[in-house]
Structure 1
């Protein structure tokens, strides 16, 4: 069996997150700069040797500059000290009704186990010979588990988001020859 390497296509891949805001509506944000590298056995994603995903905190975008600056600040993500969040895949579970990817997520130097629901979109070979696969990944975390908390009323007014953070990734991987 041969090892196959894949990378995320930055033009067609996106990672977004969603949280309640003021308990009335939702705020959606994106990480504009991501990196994903995957090594599989042949083209079988259920048999992987490595999955490493990173997102640059500085690329966070919620369409509100004041909120983005707060989220990147040392009060919340602390982008200067902890410039990336990182997911490392550990185990793939191929089940009848849903596939799961288990691994660890590190934010602010806090690492916790996490399980992602995975759905494959398909595989194509483009006219230029490039092989691509698509998939979606969904999950959720408690921001408090990663020490993403507010310590004063003024900070809470700026942030005013709920504890549960939901995220969705739409990824296209390109096979590296």
Structure 2
């Protein structure tokens, strides 16, 4: 991994993502005029900070845990029309670089979804470190990116009679992450 930055507030070591205080969410256009939002309920990950302060990220998402708060839609999303979770039950992200961008950062990494790996950039805001509540320090991060579902083999076409499609191609991924320093 190449990196040109260090986040001095983050102590060297492994920071584990606390999934009970984090969200991996998404949104996609529906019927051209609105958005459907959802999230993955099960995921794990680490932020590893080297002795020189350089961070790296590795995460795994359990795609079978997808929820849009609509059981019928969630069931359809798990089929071969979309995520094909029996064949591709996980998505992964492994960072390859972290670069400053103004007061924020860009985390570049290899994202694998539906058996396809592509390099993506996450716009990252580092929210700092807090002493925590007796279990050691916690760090907060917010990250976003937009991907094209077709780039990852999610190519279902559901055209509308008047133009457009039931499901848009652009997917916005939004991560709200809290991580604790492993002891």
Task: Pick which of 91-100 and 115-124 moved more.
Answer: 91-100
Instruction: Answer yes or no: is 1:78 the counterpart of 2:87.
Output: no
Change (3 A) 1:56 1:129: closer
Aligned residues: 169
Report deviation, 1:95: 2.5
Q: How far apart, CA to CA, are the structure 2 residues paired with 1:19 and 1:120? A: 25
Instruction: Classify 1:135/1:165 alpha carbon distance in 2 versus 1 (closer, same or farther; 3 Å).
Output: same
Q: Answer yes or no: is the 8 Å Cα contact 2:17–2:180 preserved in 1.
A: yes
Is 1:165 the equivalent of 2:174? no
Q: Which residue of 1 aligns with 2:97?
A: 91
* Partner residue in 2 for 1:6: 15
Q: Quote the offset at 1:98 in angstroms.
A: 3.3
Q: Which runs of 5+ in 1 are unaligned?
A: 154-158
Q: Secondary structure at the match of 2:77?
A: helix
Secondary structure of the structure 2 residue equivalent to 1:11:
helix
Segments of structure 2 that go 5 or more residues without pairing to the other structure are 1-10, 160-164
User: What corresponds to 1:52 in structure 2?
Assistant: 58
Partner residue of 1:119? Answer: 125
Tell me: CA distance 1:58–1:128, structure 2 relative to 1, closer, same or farther (3 Å). same
Aligned 8 A contact 1:34 1:54 in 2: yes
Residue of structure 1 equivalent to 2:141: 135
Once the two structures are TM-superposed, the CA of residue 149 in structure 1 deviates from its matched residue by: 1.4
Cα distance, 1:167 vs structure 2 = 1.2
Native 8 Å contact 2:150 2:169 kept in 1: yes
Alignment root-mean-square deviation, CA: 2.0
In 2, Cα distance between the equivalents of 1:6 and 1:152? 42
Give 1 or 2: higher strand fraction: 1
**Any idea what the Cα deviations from partners look like across 1:96-127, whole Å, max 9, x if unmatched?**
25310000110111001100000011101124
Change (3 A) 1:59 1:128: same
**Would you identify which runs of 4 or more consecutive aligned residues in structure 1 move more than 3 Å?**
none
Using the size of structure 1 for normalisation, the TM-score is 0.88
